[in-house]
Amino acid sequence: MSAKAATASAPGAGAPPSGVGYGEIFDRGYQHYRGPRLGRRQAFRSLVGYSIKRAMGIRKSWTAKILPILLYTAAIIPLIVMIGISAVAPQVEFASYSAYFAAIFTIEGIFVATIAPEMVCPDRRERTLPLYFARAITRSDYVVAKLLATIVLTMTMSLLPAVILWFGRQLIADSPWRAMQDHVGDLGRVILLGILIAVFLGTTGLMISSLTDRKGVAVTVIIIGFLLLTVAAQSGFQVVDSEWRRYFIFLSISDVFAAIADHLFGNVDSDLVDVAHFPLWAYLVYIAVVVVVCILIIRWRYRPQD
Amino acid sequence: MQTGIPEPSRSHPQPSSELGRVATAPVIEVRGLRKTFGSFVALENLDLTIPRASVGLLGANGAGKTTLIRTLLGLIAPDRGTAKVVGYDTQTQGVHVRERVGYMPEADALPSSTTAADFVGHMAEMSGLPARAARQRAADVLYQVGLEEERYRLIKGFSTGMRQRVKLAQAIVHDPELVFLDEPTAGMDPRGREEMLELVERIYRTMGISVVFSSHILEDIERVCDYVVILDNGRLISAQPLGGLGEIGGEVVVDIDGDRERFVSAIAGRGVAVRQSDSELGVREIVIDVHDEQVYDLIRDTAVEQRVALRSLRQRSRSLEDIYLGDVGAMREETHVG
């Protein structure tokens, strides 16, 4: 790669202007960078954006995009169909928010099991972590960026379709604008529940993923773990016959969110939720504790290895 | 600073911002650095000033090279002492250090399912460059390391040599003032190694980026470095310009006609280190250390005084290997005796 400058006249181009050759090839040499350096903030933004793209399979092979596309389709297409049917047949009952959140929870769980391992496992498995920690970020920045990327991406599944549902319900009303004003409280509750689900599932999914460098193991543990906990909660609830059985609800994540949906929207049909009958703050404290513990575990996993 | 080190053909630009204050400062300053891992002492009371240069960090496996690099990057905290890199304290200003410094680790550290251009561009952004500039820099730097054609291919299809080049590209994509290269030729075939050494040489001489080149291969360091830092068991053995090693620590081999023992005793009696050793051809040689030019006069005067004829006087520079083996050996002996 020694410095070279060669000229090659383009065929039929005629004589070049004096001193300048058509098709002239220059060695670009090495140019120093003299532009702005945006520091840690830019590094953080880049890490969040890059992590989201990678988890969605963007700029990866087409096979990496299949599952996210299928899950988004599964979450959004039924909503659009429902809105369409309600528009042409107003007598058809729209799904309640509680029913919708209960129905989509499994899809959200699978979605998190797909994206959370993709966020952190390859960095550890392919030993890219030292390269990240040698850039303009701290270890805490790395953890926060990965958490943010996971939660934001999960919100596109837990929040976006729910907001579409809210809009759909208002749009088929006789007076959509008036309906929106009347039901703005519902929108706030939809956003609250969507964010809670995203924060909880995103954080727990990322915590489990941070414990292994194998994506397959993380995916399996997340899905099987959630399923086993739910089965354990339901079984315990059926078997135990005392006041204490109401506490089994804290093992079943889907039932915890069903209980929260019941507080926010009502209309939840679940024995466990009915029997548990905890106030809303109890569920919120439970979520906060689990999220904090998960964050501490993730932080511990990325502590300096002195 | 007068270092005796050749300047690069193009000096690194000195921004008008706060970095201007370190324009003439040494690139690395270490004072009393100590780092232990349990009972193992990785770095022991290190004092070191490294100028802007192509610096070889030499030492056997376990000598403390990687620990020193990780400490200088602010990735691990020393037990004691301070370190400044490109003018920033590694403990309190680690992010600033890493913004201005590049790092190429020894281990394979590349994602497989991404293209070289994507990954190197992302690493530029991770050093604070805006997205558009990062993409442009990635393309330029991949051209510089000879991967222009392959930049849109997935890294998983790359050979070992190409992967090393991607690692090098990500280390310099943000145009750092200093780049740490940890064993960059490890595991490469002779041709790939040669190409990598050429690239490393260009980083300082053409690009004007100071280099700290960690290796246990003396030949590689002799080939591309102007300055050498030798570590052994976490201790600093030597830190000096490489070009000066022969002059400072050179020897002359003297061949005489006459009483060899009397001549050697007379030289030694004047306080000059002298020894007799067998050459590779089995010939007994008188080897005299040359610590300054007056030693030549002293040899001539002693020959006259002892009435011996000087048949030949041959300069023998100490290679880096001599220095390494001699200094490390002396240090180990000293430690053992102590």
Q: For residue A28, what pLDDT is reported?
A: 66
Nearest chain A residue (CA) to B93: A136
Which of B37, B126, B140 lies closest to A46 in CB terms? B126
List CB contacts (< 8 A) between B110 and chain A: 126, 128
Contact residues for B41 (Cβ-Cβ < 8 A; gap 6+): B34, B35, B233, B234
Average pLDDT over residues B46-74: 90
Q: Which of B99, B195, B205 to probe the A interface (max A CBs under 10 A)?
A: B99
> Contact A42/B170, CB-based, under 8 Å?
no
Q: Is A46 on the interface with B (CB under 8 A)?
A: yes
How far is the alpha carbon of B29 from chain A, nearest alpha carbon, in Å?
19
Euclidean distance between the first and the last CA atom of chain A, given in angstroms as a whole number: 41
CB contact under 8 A, B95 and A31: no
Q: By the CB < 8 Å criterion, does A30 face chain B? A: yes
Contact state of A30 with B144 under an 8 Å Cβ cutoff: yes
Whether A31 sits inside 8 A of B128 (CB atoms) is no
Chain B residues in contact with A130 (beta carbon < 8 A): 75, 103, 105, 107, 109
Task: Report helix, strand or coil for B145.
Answer: coil
pLDDT digits (tens, 9 = 90+) for B205-244: 888 899 999 988 888 888 888 889 999 888 998 888 876 5
Q: Do A1 and B144 touch (CB under 8 A)?
A: yes
pLDDT one-digit tens code per residue, B28-41: 999 999 999 988 99
* Sequence-separated (6 or more) residues with CB below 8 Å from residue A126: B108, B109, B110, B111, B112
Nearest to A112 by CA among A49, A143, A68: A68
Cα nearest neighbour of A138 on chain B: B95
Closest CA to B245 of B229, B257, B262, B259: B229
- Return the pLDDT at B122: 96
Which residue of chain B comes nearest to A38, CA vs CA? Answer: B128
Tokens of B235: 């201790």
Asked if B75's CB is within 8 angstroms of A304's CB, the reply is yes
Question: Tokens 């300053």 identify what position?
Answer: B29
Q: What is the pLDDT of residue A13?
A: 38
Torsion angle, CA of A107/A109/A114/A117, rounded to 10 degrees? 170
Side chain identity at A45, as an amino acid letter? R
* Any B CB within 8 A of A28 CB: yes
Place of tokens 């970095």: B19
Decide if A304 and B76 are in contact by the 8 Å CB cutoff.
Answer: yes
Contact A128 B207 (CB under 8 A): no
SS3 state of residue A8: coil
* CB contact burial A249-281 (16+ within 10 A = b; e otherwise): bbbbbbbbbbbbbbbbbeebebebbeebebeee
Residues 6+ apart with CB under 8 A from A261: A97, A98, A101, A102, A193, A268
Tokens of B117: 């251009």
Among B36, B129, B209, which would you mutate to test the A interface (most chain A Cβ atoms within 10 Å of its Cβ)? B129
Q: Which residue of A has its CA nearest to B40?
A: A306
Q: Which residues of chain B make contact with A137, given a CB cutoff of 8 A?
A: 95, 98, 126
Q: In sequence order, what are the beta bridge partners of B255?
A: B312
Q: B123 and A39 in contact by Cβ < 8 A? A: no
How is residue A276 written in tokens? Answer: 């548990």
Please tell me the distance from the alpha carbon of residue B54 to that of residue B5, in angstroms, as a whole number. 9
pLDDT of the residue at B251: 79
Check CB contact of A17 with chain B, cutoff 8 Å: no
CA atoms within 13 A on the CB side of A95: 23
Determine which helix (DSSP H) or strand (DSSP E) holds B46, and give its type and residue range: strand B40-50
Lowest mean pLDDT segment, chosen from A43-47, B146-150, B326-330: B326-330
DSSP symbol at B179: E
CA distance B219 to chain A (A): 23
Residues from chain B that touch A47, judged by Cβ atoms under 8 A, are: 126
Distance (Å) from the alpha carbon of A148 to chain B's nearest alpha carbon: 16
DSSP state of B186: T
Question: Are B122 and A42 inside 8 Å of each other by CB?
Answer: no
pLDDT score, position B285: 82
Render the burial of B234-245: b for 16+ CB within 10 Å, e for the rest.
Answer: bbbbbbbbbeeb
CA distance A149 to A155: 10
Q: How many CA atoms lie within 13 A of B113 on its CB side?
A: 16
Q: Which of B320 and A163 is assigned the larger pLDDT?
A: A163
3-state secondary structure of B149: coil
- The single residue listed with the structure tokens 């300055």 is B227
Residues of B in contact with A48 (CB under 8 A): none
Mutation target vs B (from A1, A2, A4, A33; most B CBs, 10 A cutoff):
A33
Region of poorest pLDDT, from A133-147, B23-37, B58-72, B146-160? B23-37
Strand B178-182 relative to strand B101-104, pairing: parallel
Cα separation, B266 vs B302, in Å, equals 7
- Say how many C-beta atoms besides its own lie within 10 A of residue B93's C-beta: 16
Residue B248's pLDDT is 45
Amino acid B68 reads: L
> Are the C-beta atoms of B184 and B104 separated by less than 8 Å?
yes
- Give the pLDDT score at A306: 60
Tell me which residue has tokens 């089995």: B282
Option in A31, A37, A134 nearest B129 (CB): A37
φ/ψ of B240, rounded to 5, equals -160, 165
Partner-chain contact B125 A46, CB within 8 Å:
yes
**pLDDT over threshold 80, residue B143:** yes
Q: Report H helices in A126-247.
A: 129-133, 139-158, 160-171, 176-182, 184-210, 215-239
- Number of CB pairs < 8 Å for A and B? 125
Q: Which two tokens stand for residue A137?
A: 């970020």
Contact A59/B122 with Cβ under 8 angstroms?
no
Determine the Cα–Cα distance for residues A163 and B31; give it in Å rounded to an integer.
Answer: 59
Q: Could you give the residue ranges of the DSSP H alpha helices within chain B?
A: 65-72, 94-100, 116-126, 131-144, 160-172, 190-205, 218-224, 245-249, 260-269, 294-305, 320-337
Nearest chain A residue to B154, by CA: A60
Contact across the interface for B73 and A134, Cβ inside 8 Å: yes
Amino acid at position B130, single letter: P
Rounded to the nearest 10 degrees, how much is the dihedral formed by the CA atoms of B229, B235, B237, B238?
Answer: 30
Partner-chain contact B125 A122, CB within 8 Å = no
Nearest CA among B142, B144, B122 for reference residue B133: B122
DSSP A145-179: HHHHHHHHHHHHHHTHHHHHHHHHHHHTSSSHHHH
Residue A63 contacts B where some CB pair is shorter than 8 Å: no
Q: What 3-state class would DSSP assign to A277?
A: coil
d(CA A177, CA B290): 96
Using alpha carbons, list the distances in angstroms from residue A282 to A64, A279, A285, A292: 39, 6, 5, 15
The three-state secondary structure class of A22 is: coil
If contacts are CB pairs under 8 Å, which of residues 182-241 in chain A contact chain B?
Answer: none
Do B216 and B59 touch, CB atoms closer than 8 A? yes
User: Is residue A66 classed exposed, middle or buried when 0-12, 13-18 and 19+ CB atoms within 10 A define those classes?
Assistant: exposed
Residues of B in contact with A127 (CB under 8 A): 105, 107-109
Residue B59 has pLDDT above 80, yes or no: yes
| Per-run averaged pLDDT (10 residues), chain A, 306 residues | 38 43 61 92 96 90 88 88 81 81 92 95 93 94 97 95 89 87 93 96 97 95 93 90 89 94 88 90 97 97 81
Among the partner residues A39, A54, A61, nearest to B99 by beta-carbon distance: A39
pLDDT in tens, B249-298: 577 888 888 888 899 999 988 888 888 877 656 677 888 888 777 888 89
| pLDDT of B329 | 67
User: What span, in angstroms and rounded, lies between the C-alpha atoms of A24 and B63?
Assistant: 51
A2 inside 8 A of chain B by CB: no
B31 forms bridges with which residues in the sheet?
B82
CA proximity to A45, closest of B27, B223, B294, B126: B126
- For A190, phi then psi, to 5°, come to -60, -45
Chain B hits for A63, Cβ within 8 Å: none
The C-alpha atoms of residue B168 and residue B123 are separated, in whole angstroms, by 12
DSSP B311: E
* Chain B residues inside the 8 Å CB shell of A54: 114
How distant is the Cα of B192 from the closest Cα of chain A, in angstroms? 15
Q: What is the pLDDT of residue A99?
A: 87
